[in-house]
Structure 1
Amino acid sequence: MPELLAAAGLAGFIYGISPGPAVLALLGLSADRGRGAATRFVSGLLAGDALWALLALVAILGAQTIGTLVFDLLGLVCGAYLFWLGWGALRARPRAEGAAPAIPRPLLRGLAFGLTNPKGYPVAVATFTALLSSRSSLLHWGLLPALVLAAVAGSFLAYGILVLFCGMAPMRRLYRRHEVWINRASGLIFIGFALHALAQALPGLAAAWR
């Protein structure tokens, strides 16, 4: 049990700290409005993390009984949306001088962002599978709530580190100076996640249609 909870917590940490749309939004928000707004934003994100951790664990625990079709469809939608976001980030242009911050209500936007984060499902499934597959014989449905809580705790730790790091004055200056190029580099990362999600989902969907 302790090793399963530790693995779930590590999966949540890796999920939270890995580059993606939420991290990019957090960088921009920290540069615009500082650590207070960034803290409210990531507090909202945790609700999304709980959802995606739950879905990833259900996919792992229930693949044999539920089947994979619904999860493959979810991965397809997430991958397509993430590709669209990445393509938009690659075409980023400088913000006009004095433009309003991109995230005016951090807590509510963080909640919405977390629940619709297209990185969420494919990255959560990949991370949880990698860390829990070697212990799959120990997994059962009764552990699901504890595993989700451990994952959220891991994400909470990751976001604390990110808020501390992104709120530093040198990081805020760096982001403002190179915002367009950071957006474009992040776009490449998003597209990479999208291609991975599609590569995971398409074989299962093709098999289901045969």
Structure 2
Amino acid sequence: MLISPEQFLGFLAAALLITASPGPDNLMVLGIGMSRGRRQGMVFGLGCALGCLTHTLLATLGVSALIAASPLAFSVLKLCGGLYLVWLGVCALRSRGGARVDGVAVPDESLARLFAKGLFANSVNPKVVLFFLSFLPQFVVAEQGHVSWQTAQLGLIFTAQGCVLFGLLGYFSGAVGKWINVNPRAGLWLDRVAGTIFVGLGVRLIVAR
């Protein structure tokens, strides 16, 4: 059973805006692309994006186990996740922006090593694990059943859009990096948009009892 078109479009829109917001991963992709070349930036970004598969697996297993153990526990997870998303949103809304992208000084490394670095960095990041456990369940409709499959699809969609977006960031790293440096307020407004999405998702979950 595939997720509904409404689930897909709503999740994809939120995921794209969140991924595009200035953060360690995409700024590193831009930095490597600017200093080493677009191919290196794209490969590193691909590793970062595919690292999300680890978090998808953990979220799928965790959410499925909660549903099997207790629907109440799943509701508590969604409520806690909603509060966490509100907190992330408030932090983004309070951000002063000012993100800059500088060429990252890295030693001469093979594409395979750059890919592995991106994959490892994202796979073991506890903040990303917490984000996935908070974000994905917000788009799961338990009444539709197949919760684990819904969660897996959402994680795969997030990973796929991450691959595309990071690939584009790596390819156009020079132009995008210069644009961000010349327009520092662009990052500020991306934070505002992402923060509004986080707060909206969190509040919706908290009040929709």
Return the TM-score normalized by structure 2.
Answer: 0.64
1:93 and 2:98 correspond: yes
Does the Cα contact within 8 Å between 1:53 and 1:148 map onto a contact in 2?
Answer: yes
The aligned residue for residue 152 of structure 1 is: 155
After TM superposition, the structure 1 = structure 2 runs for residues 11-160 of structure 1, keeping only pairs within 5 Å, are 14=12, 17-20=15-18, 24-25=22-23, 26-33=25-32, 34-52=41-59, 64-66=71-73, 68-88=75-95, 91-93=96-98, 95=100, 105-111=117-123, 112=125, 113-117=127-131, 120=132, 123-129=135-141, 136=143, 139=145, 143-160=146-163
Structure 1 residue 5: Cα displacement: 3.0
Does the Cα contact within 8 Å between 2:97 and 2:191 map onto a contact in 1?
Answer: no
Structure 1 residue 192: Cα displacement: 0.4
The aligned residue for residue 190 of structure 1 is: 194
Give the Cα separation in 2 of the matches to 1:198 and 1:50: 23
Query: RMSD between aligned alpha carbons?
Result: 4.0
Output one character per residue of 1:50-103: Cα deviation in whole Å (capped at 9) or x when no partner.
Answer: 444566677888885546234212311232133214422xx12354966769xx
Give the 3-state SS of the residue equivalent to 1:24 in structure 2: coil
The aligned residue for residue 37 of structure 2 is: none
Q: Measured at CA, do residues 59 and 16 of structure 1 come closer, stay the same or move farther in structure 2, by a change above 3 Å?
A: farther
Q: Measured at CA, do residues 191 and 147 of structure 1 come closer, stay the same or move farther in structure 2, by a change above 3 Å?
A: closer
The aligned residue for residue 163 of structure 1 is: 166
Q: Measured at CA, do residues 152 and 55 of structure 1 come closer, stay the same or move farther in structure 2, by a change above 3 Å?
A: same
Specify every segment of 5 or more residues in structure 1 that has no aligned partner in the other structure, as ranges. none
Specify every segment of 5 or more residues in structure 2 that has no aligned partner in the other structure, as ranges. 33-40, 107-116
Does the Cα contact within 8 Å between 1:78 and 1:194 map onto a contact in 2?
Answer: yes
Give the Cα separation in 1 of the matches to 2:72 and 2:186: 43
Does the Cα contact within 8 Å between 2:48 and 2:118 map onto a contact in 1?
Answer: yes
Between the aligned residues of both structures, percent identity stands at: 10
Match of 1:200 among 193, 196, 204: 204
Give the Cα separation in 1 of the matches to 2:98 and 2:157: 34
Return the TM-score normalized by structure 1.
Answer: 0.64
Structure 1 residue 160: Cα displacement: 2.7
Q: Measured at CA, do residues 155 and 12 of structure 1 come closer, stay the same or move farther in structure 2, by a change above 3 Å?
A: farther
Name the amino acid aligned to 2:27: G
Does the Cα contact within 8 Å between 1:13 and 1:151 map onto a contact in 2?
Answer: yes
Output one character per residue of 1:33-53: Cα deviation in whole Å (capped at 9) or x when no partner.
Answer: 111111111122232234445
